[in-house]
Amino acid sequence: MGQRMLATGFLGLAFTLSSGAARAAAEELVMPPAGAKMLLEFRADGVQIYVCESKGQAHAWRFVGPEAALFDSEGRQVGTHGSGPSWKLSDGSSVIGEKAAQSASPDGHSIPWLLLRVKAHEGKGRLDAASWIRRFETRGGAEPAGGCDAVHAGESARMRYSATYQFFGS
């Protein structure tokens, strides 16, 4: 019995260490360039939207875009995240990003972690100096595992997700 408990303990420790290593590796792949300074951090809560489309004789889910609210560290909604991808704050500033790097989520069941380069700014406000956006600590949001066939063509699926978004400046 003691050996079994010891073996279980070692397995748990090995899993924890491998999970920590997976997280560190994922984080490293989506870090902004050296010298970039973090300007803002928000928690997003919303959905990732997919539509079932036919592809020849087969059917597959196609990503349409996100719909999420952005919250500050005190839990106040300060903006939204939508297609583009875009981030809009209540102060009138907004940015549009493009993917620069991607890493699988360490849990293997959530949308990937991303590093995005800001390609456009609008309005004046807190996002003015943003050059990079990092999405990490994702939970959920992956495309549905099934349910996309000829009967369901054209239907959409709204998959709940949450993530942390950090905005960096040069």
What contacts 24+ positions apart, CB below 8 Å, involve 19-24? Answer: 19/106, 22/106, 23/106
Q: What is the pTM of this model?
A: 0.84
Tokens 């003015």 sit on residue:
128
User: What is the band of 7 on the pLDDT scale with cuts at 50, 70, 90?
Assistant: very low
H/E element, 27: helix 2-29
Residue 10: CB atoms within 10 Å:
10
Which tens digit of pLDDT belongs to each residue from 105-116? Answer: 999 899 999 999
What 3-state DSSP class applies to 9?
A: helix
